Amino acid sequence: MTARDEILARLRTALADGPPPVPVPRRYRRVDDRSDLIDTLVDRLEDYRAVVHRGIDALPRLLSAVDRLAVPTDVPAGWLAGYAGRLHRDAPALSPATLDELDAVLTGCAVAVADTGTIILDAGPAQGRRALTLVPDRHICVVRTDQVVGLLPEALARLDPRAPLTWISGPSATSDIELNRVEGVHGPRRLEIVLISSGA
């Protein structure tokens, strides 16, 4: 008997008492009724030491201080307007060693969750593959206001489970030393969010 068949047979024997069907009560909130979603998102992001900038105009100013910038191949041209530093497009794919030498990466996101201050990347438009937003020490992430939802259930409904998903809530952190939160371990130590309006 294979391990698979044996384990499945064990589990079926274990359930010989025939437990009855379990109805799942879903009385939790599935839609946020708050009107100030954007302010909530900013509050939660800043609580976890992400830096928030408002308006597309903040981008050129931010990028002017970045020498070597990684971007996904489909980064909107408008985000790079006036950028004079060295641009590294991820085509052909940048090696981990190369990514490690760059100063920052600029991407968009798929969804942002106000309630938890979470940015979700799904490798969709303007996001690139996962390594791109992991190895550089600074992640600049553009969030459109129409990408902001209130609660987790609203975010999950917008995601494709088959895409590789990365949920980011603040910069890399640890609480392993005396349970004090310290920002900055292996992931990007600086997370900056640029909030732009839907049309921008």
Output 26 or 82, the one with its CB closest to other proteins: 26
Where in 39-146 does DSSP place strands (E)? 51-54, 68-71, 86-89, 104-107, 111-113, 118-121, 138-144
In the complex, what is the shortest distance from the CB of residue 97 to other proteins, in angstroms, rounded to a whole number?
6
Output 87 or 173, the one with its CB closest to other proteins: 173
In the complex, what is the shortest distance from the CB of residue 198 to other proteins, in angstroms, rounded to a whole number?
24
Would you say 149 and 158 are in contact if contact means Cβ atoms under 8 Å apart?
Answer: yes
In the complex, what is the shortest distance from the CB of residue 175 to other proteins, in angstroms, rounded to a whole number?
6
CA 138/CA 191 separation, integer angstroms: 6
Output 12 or 198, the one with its CB closest to other proteins: 12
Output 6 or 39, the one with its CB closest to other proteins: 6
Interior/surface letters 85-119, b for 16+ CB within 10 angstroms, e for the rest = eeebebeeebeeeebeebebbbbbbbbbbbbbbbb
Would you say 124 and 165 are in contact if contact means Cβ atoms under 8 Å apart?
Answer: no
In the complex, what is the shortest distance from the CB of residue 104 to other proteins, in angstroms, rounded to a whole number?
16
